[in-house]
Amino acid sequence: MTTIPAASSTSTTAGAKAHARAQEAEAAASGAPDAVVPAESWAGQIAADKSDVVWAETVAGGSYAHRVLAAGSSVRLTDIAGDACASVLLYNADAPWERLNVADTAKVQWQVYTAPGQLLLSDQGRVLASVVDDTSGHHDILYGTSAEARNVERYGDGAPEGASPAGRELFAVAAAKNGLGRRDIAPSMSFFQGVTIDAEGSPTFTGSSGPGGSITLRTEMPVIMLVVNAAHPLDPREEYIASPLEIVAWRDRRTDPSDPRWVATPEGRRAFENTADYLKGRGIA
């Protein structure tokens, strides 16, 4: 750990500067999770040109990330160690009162389980993002993320700055950084910690598929993306467990009528057509 000299005090400008620079040096030396800036300097692997990378960040357990992304961005989330739980919210970046509707995402597509081809629908019947690849298969669209009261009961703390932060509290912090409030925090989708439903309608927590699982989303509209990495509310383990999550996004393309996903289902086709019509009116298409 970096030690600040005794003569240094954050009550003075010089002392505050020394403290801030020491913290930065300590974080760099420890390899602490952080965003890569500029993103194109990220050292990992993707099929796209590195100059197209627009977001590269490792999110620690019990933390969050957020970004505004253009339409036609690919976003790959990776469960590095096998215990991440990525809860995601999406908003129309130009009109954030339009946001992810997980109920319609399941109901309109007659499918409660996430897989390639699933469309993440807004409350206006448009496609905010689509799932283009998935090597995990362990996800949950039903149970959202944890609440502060539940985490206090289970772990003794649910505050965002505490040892076991609740997902909704972390979402509130990420939302505020994008001009959004608690009233804007809708039910979220969770990736990498699976839940299945049996014939009687009861949930079974299936947990992770193991280290290295990934899911790739394609943004079909300009979006605000909020990501929280917090223990799943149905995780039966006594300890609060959430391992690091990697996020990498790069410039790609939107789905167009030549893509089989566009016409895979009548419901999906209508959602894509609604999206294209909206974007054309906004001058984005």
DSSP-based three-state secondary structure for 87:
strand
Q: Whose CA is closest to 77, among 267, 227, 224?
A: 227
Question: 262 and 273 in contact (C-beta within 8 Å)?
Answer: no
Q: What is the residue type of 207?
A: G
DSSP-based three-state secondary structure for 14:
helix
Cis peptide before 38 (omega within 30 of 0): yes
User: What tokens were used for 250?
Assistant: 């790069």
Q: What is the pLDDT of residues 159-189, one digit of tens each?
A: 999 999 999 999 999 999 999 999 999 999 9
Q: What is the pLDDT of residues 140-166, one digit of tens each?
A: 999 999 999 999 999 999 999 999 999
Q: Where are the domains of the chain?
A: 53-253+260-281
Measured CA to CA in angstroms, residue 257 lies from 94, 127, 146, 269, 273 at distances of 24, 14, 38, 9, 9
User: What tokens were used for 213?
Assistant: 């699982």
Q: How many Å from the N-terminal Cα to the C-terminal Cα in the chain?
A: 51
* Residues 6 or more apart in contact with residue 170 via CB below 8 angstroms: 62, 63, 64, 160, 228, 230
Question: 100 and 120 in contact (C-beta within 8 Å)?
Answer: yes
Q: Whose CA is closest to 229, among 158, 174, 170?
A: 170
User: What tokens were used for 49?
Assistant: 């040109």
Distance CA 148, CA 188 (A): 15
Distance CA 261, CA 181 (A): 34
Strands (DSSP E) contained in 80-213 are 86-92, 119-121, 127-134, 139-140, 189-191, 194-197, 203-207
**CA 204, 207, 213, 215 torsion-angle sign:** positive
Tens digits of pLDDT across the chain (285 residues): 444 444 456 678 887 777 667 655 554 544 445 789 999 999 988 888 999 999 999 999 999 999 999 999 999 999 999 999 999 999 999 999 999 999 999 999 999 999 999 999 999 999 999 999 999 999 999 999 999 999 999 999 999 999 999 999 999 999 999 999 999 999 999 999 999 999 999 999 999 999 999 999 999 999 999 999 999 999 999 999 999 999 999 999 999 999 999 999 999 999 999 999 999 999 987
The CB density around residue 180, as the number of other CB atoms within 10 Å, is 21
Q: Is the pTM of this model over 0.85?
A: yes
User: What tokens were used for 71?
Assistant: 């339409």
